Chains A and B, each alone.
Chain A
Amino acid sequence: MIVTNIEIIPGRRVIKHLGMVQGNTVRSKHVGRDLMAGFKNIFGGELVGYTELLTESREEAVDRMKQQAQAIGANAILNVRFSTSSVAAGAAELFAYGTAVILE
């Protein structure tokens, strides 16, 4: 499965477009991480726990998108975009979407 955020794959031709595929995940942080973040809010600096959490969540969203693409028989996803929104206090939604295609 090739995933890119450009509209073509260099050197390969798109045979068929299969429409949009998407994947999302809503994650919340656990109390320990929040506590540490509270301390960091006084001193500043990177919140490593949050960074990891969001990285994992994005991977999860992309995986779900790939699963969906696989289910409809695509072998590549083009023009992938990410979007983040905070749904409720302490929780964030990560959303990935793109166009599923079949490459020759």
Chain B
Amino acid sequence: MYDLIILFTLLFLGYIFGQMAEKKHFRSLIKREEEYREILTFAKRFPLNNNADQKAELVGGNVVISVDYFKRFVATLRNLVGGRVTTYESLLERARREAILRMKEDAKQKGLNAIVNLKLETSSITKGSTSQVGAVEVYAYGTGLLSSHSL
């Protein structure tokens, strides 16, 4: 009986706070993405114009985002029947967008105005097989350029 109460309390807390955190994060992502829009990012391997770039430097940003209790519970249930795990999809999307934003912040701090060869790396951080701590890390990196020609 007590186990059930604890389970439902955790689920409730996870749902309320998890949703709040997610909504807040998405709002802040949209706002900051607008701010850093002028730093253009490309996944292509070579600079846009060889002669117009004065500076090249590695830039990167990373973030670790934890799953909440509710998300993990839903994912466990989903594991039984298979299919899309939407709760994790939004988690990964948030992590990627955040990592890219931090990379852009890094580029701006170093006085660069374009990024080429964007690479994304995702790794999961779990502690033990029982996964007491479940989190995902995304690292975004690329080459920041100071480009003088108009992009």
Partner of B66, one of A5, A47, A81: A47
Contact residues in B for A89 (Cβ distance below 8 Å): 127-128
Question: Do B10 and A42 touch across chains, with their CB atoms under 8 A apart?
Answer: yes
How many chain B residues sit at the interface, stated as a range, is 35 or more
Contact residues in A for B125 (Cβ distance below 8 Å): 50, 86, 92
Question: Do B45 and A7 touch across chains, with their CB atoms under 8 A apart?
Answer: yes
Q: For the complex, count residues of A whose C-beta is within 8 A of B.
A: 37
Question: Do A44 and B64 touch across chains, with their CB atoms under 8 A apart?
Answer: no
Question: Do A84 and B123 touch across chains, with their CB atoms under 8 A apart?
Answer: yes
Partner of A82, one of B50, B121, B143: B121
Question: Do B133 and A37 touch across chains, with their CB atoms under 8 A apart?
Answer: yes
Contact residues in B for A87 (Cβ distance below 8 Å): none
- Assess whether A32 is interfacial by the CB under 8 Å rule: no
Q: Nearest residue in A to B137 (C-beta to C-beta)?
A: A54
Question: Do B63 and A44 touch across chains, with their CB atoms under 8 A apart?
Answer: no
Question: Do B68 and A43 touch across chains, with their CB atoms under 8 A apart?
Answer: yes
Contact residues in B for A43 (Cβ distance below 8 Å): 13-14, 17-18, 21, 68-69
- Assess whether A38 is interfacial by the CB under 8 Å rule: yes
Question: Do B139 and A84 touch across chains, with their CB atoms under 8 A apart?
Answer: yes
B112 to chain A, nearest CB (A): 11
Question: Do B22 and A10 touch across chains, with their CB atoms under 8 A apart?
Answer: no
Contact residues in B for A84 (Cβ distance below 8 Å): 121, 123, 137, 139
Interface residues of A (CB under 8 A from B): 2-11, 34, 37-38, 40-47, 50-51, 54-55, 58, 62, 80-86, 89-90, 92
Interface residues of B (CB under 8 A from A): 10, 13-14, 17-18, 21-22, 25, 45-47, 50-54, 56-58, 60, 62-69, 71-72, 98, 116-117, 119, 121, 123-128, 132-135, 137, 139, 141-143, 145
